[in-house]
Amino acid sequence: MKQYLFAITAIAVIGSTTLSAQEAEKKTVSTYYRNALTNMMVYHAEDEFGYDVYEIFKDLPPEERYDSHDVGLRVLDNSKINDVRNHKNQGLHRQTYGGSLVLTGDEKQANADAMLALLNEAEIGKRIVAKWFNLTGETLQDAHFGTEILEERSGYNASVLDVEKARFTVEGTAALQDVSAELISHSFVLISDMTYITAEDRADATKKTFAVIGAVFDGLTGGNSGKRLAEDVGDISDKFTGFKVLTHSYLFQLEWNDSIANIFYDKYYTSTPNPDKLRAFIEDHDSFRLVYLGTEDARYEKTKVAGKYDRTDLLQMITVRSIDNNIAKLQKRFEAFRVKAPITGVEYDKKGKITGFRAQIGEKEGIDETMKFEVLEYKMTKNGLEVNRVAVIQPVRNQIWDNRFNALIENDEDGNPAGTLFKAAEGDKAKILPGMVIRQITG
């Protein structure tokens, strides 16, 4: 019982969501229903850069296009994960330098199964639900739920989302259905597992290879090419510093539907301290679980002349970008996980004719000119949330914003800070207004 009581304290909500500085974002952030993301990594104490990656990851800012849903667990210790590979070793299947860096399908599935078992054993699904309903308190005697986070992210006011009353009114029932379907059910957990190789590792391996080849050649010719080749290749360690990373990211989603929502509302929700209901919630080990969606892997490599980046900066950039690459791939595969963003501006020519639209998504999200996005208008009505498609737009070639991490440092410029330029592909472009939301539909 004590361990579950500790869980209540650990998941008490402090603070609020950080909003974008864009005015359109401020106006629409509470009504366009962003996905919630709990971001985690696997920590490998045995890796040369394991602790460095851990330090970088734990200090990373939240993903801009998702609502951060931190539940108090961001790092999984590989040595504590149940046996996956065999009966002698703990931990996940890993890539090894000198062999294939890409895991087989069976290895990925075994890793995913182990992670899912760990997440559900740690009751991460319950923690996600508890955060949505702002579980606050240090003991069973003073703990209670609230709707502050739901109000902030959904646009409904407190009176409408008063759970004890909402289900007895048409407006309240519609509101609860909206937030359940559009917010709570779009709760995701992303776990990234990274394998690093340094430029020096590769240089040393190459040096040994060339030395062997050169020695054989010298034996046939009587020359000294082996020594010379070894010295030349060895210089790589002095002239360059870089990293190569392969990151596997595994995506999970909270299982949440009307039946599960009703269990929570009927049996557990209380806006005032109620030890019996809270105890029942804590002791329910089956209702709030995660399901596995899929995995993607991204290979990322950067070798720079020493001096432009130090090791920490380079490690940070590659860590962030490799995870971003996987998020972009997963967005393309899973419609529910796709990012949404508001239109931040409409552009006109000198005659007042509409020439394009701006939104602050770009290369980080894997945007290219082949993709199409629907433009959505969100309206609150007495019957709940109403979403209408206004038009379809498409990115303009060579006008896609480079918003990748550290793009400014790498390129000495970071593109147009106004965001990616889009052109109308279908529908009436005159109806597209700042604050409307775009969502990928093809590409």
280-293 tens-digit pLDDT: 999 999 999 999 99
Tell me which residue range forms the domain holding 48.
Answer: 2-18+32-194+244-336
User: Does residue 27 form part of some domain?
Assistant: no
Last residue of a domain, one of 336, 364, 384: 336
What is the reported pLDDT for 302?
62
Residue 58: what pLDDT? Answer: 83
Residue 67's DSSP bridge partners are 36
Q: Which segment, 36-40, 194-198, 400-404, is predicted with the most confidence on average? A: 36-40
Task: Give the ranges where 183-274 is alpha helix by DSSP (H).
Answer: 199-221, 225-234, 236-239, 258-263
Give a yes or no: residue 46 inside a domain. Answer: yes
Residues 316 and 219 reside in one and the same domain = no
- For residues 103 and 233, state if they share a domain: no
273 or 20: whose pLDDT is higher? 273
- Does some domain include residue 293? yes
Is residue 96 domain-shared with residue 176, that is, in the same domain?
yes
Co-location of 285 and 425 in the same domain: no
Same domain, 366 and 385: yes
Query: From residue 422, how far is each of 195, 218, 364, 414 by CA, in Å?
Result: 37, 61, 16, 18
Domain identity same for 399 and 275: no
Domain boundary among 207, 228, 243: 243
Q: Is 24 among the domain residues?
A: no
Residue 293: per-residue pLDDT: 98
**61 or 433, which is more confident:** 433
Show Cβ contacts of residue 338 under 8 Å, excluding neighbours closer than 6 positions: 331, 332, 439, 440
Distance spanning both ends of the chain, measured CA to CA: 50
- Please tell me the total count of domains within the chain: 3
Query: In terms of domains, do 252 and 151 share one?
Result: yes
Are 363 and 327 in the same domain? no
pTM above 0.95, yes or no: no
**How many Å separate Cα 315 from the centre of its chain?**
18
Judgement on whether residues 263 and 396 belong to the same structural domain of the protein: no
> Is residue 177 assigned to a domain?
yes
The answer as to whether 274 is a domain residue is yes
Q: Note whether 218 and 93 are same-domain residues.
A: no
Amino acid at 136: T
**Do residues 237 and 299 share a domain?**
no
CA 113 – CA 65 distance, rounded (Å): 28
For range 66-91, the mean pLDDT: 80
Residue 25 lies in a domain: no
pLDDT at res. 333: 92
210 vs 98 pLDDT, higher one: 98
Could you tell me if residue 139 is inside a domain? yes
Alpha-carbon distance of 311 to 306, in angstroms, equals: 9
Could you tell me if 328 and 347 lie in one domain?
no
